[in-house]
Amino acid sequence: MNFSHDTELTLRAAGALVNSDRVGGEHLADQRALDDYLRDWGWTGRRDRDPEELAAVQRLRKRIGRIWAAADDEQRTVDEVNALLSDTRAAPWLTRHPEMPDWHLHLASVHDPLAQRMGAEMAMALADLIRGGELRRLKVCAAPDCDAVLVDLSRNRSRMFCDTGNCGNRQHVAAYRQRRARDG
């Protein structure tokens, strides 16, 4: 299934947000780290740059993580996404920008608080996934020592490992070494 560019980007940004405290410690501990995340993922609009804003984004991170964890239960996921859409007062409207000339949806005003805008965008991207019957694309890394999340956007939904800790390569090397030891 093909998703729109903004849906894929937002799903990846949601995964990166969830992973920001799952691999290698806390990566959203201060304003500078939040600034880096927002720049890396292209978030724009109102910024308060205060402790309350950072705390709100960290709470959103936990909430998106719970949605990821519920992905094997469609009804529970739908309930969580609907609640997030409601809580963020998502109101879709079409727009485009010089840096993104294709039409895309915004779901909150640029004047709304950061976590509210992020939550609305992430909830809508997750709703697109649900509507397409593609919840199984939300995964947790298959490496036994990793709990990072990933969005499997591969054509055949075969991606198993995250990009955060070189997990796929480590697992393949371990399997290779195990086969060599067994075969002698």
pLDDT digits (tens, 9 = 90+) for 100-132: 788 888 899 889 999 999 999 999 999 999 999
Residue 1 contacts by C-beta under 8 Å, 6 or more apart in sequence? 132, 134
Q: 34 with 47: CB under 8 angstroms?
A: no
43-80 pLDDT per residue, tens? 989 999 999 999 999 999 999 999 999 999 999 999 99
Least Cα distance to 81 among 128, 113, 43, 12 occurs for 128
Q: Is the pTM of this model over 0.75?
A: yes
Region 84-109 average pLDDT:
88
Least reliable range by pLDDT among 11-15, 18-22, 54-58, 143-147: 143-147
Lowest mean pLDDT among 7-11, 37-41, 137-141, 143-147: 143-147
With a cut of 90, say whether residue 182 has pLDDT above it: no
Q: What is the pLDDT of residue 171?
A: 59
What does the pLDDT look like over 141-171, one tens digit per residue?
988 889 999 999 998 888 888 887 678 666 5
Handedness of CA 82, 83, 88, 91 (dihedral sign): positive
pLDDT at position 163: 82
Q: What percent of the chain has pLDDT over 90?
A: 65
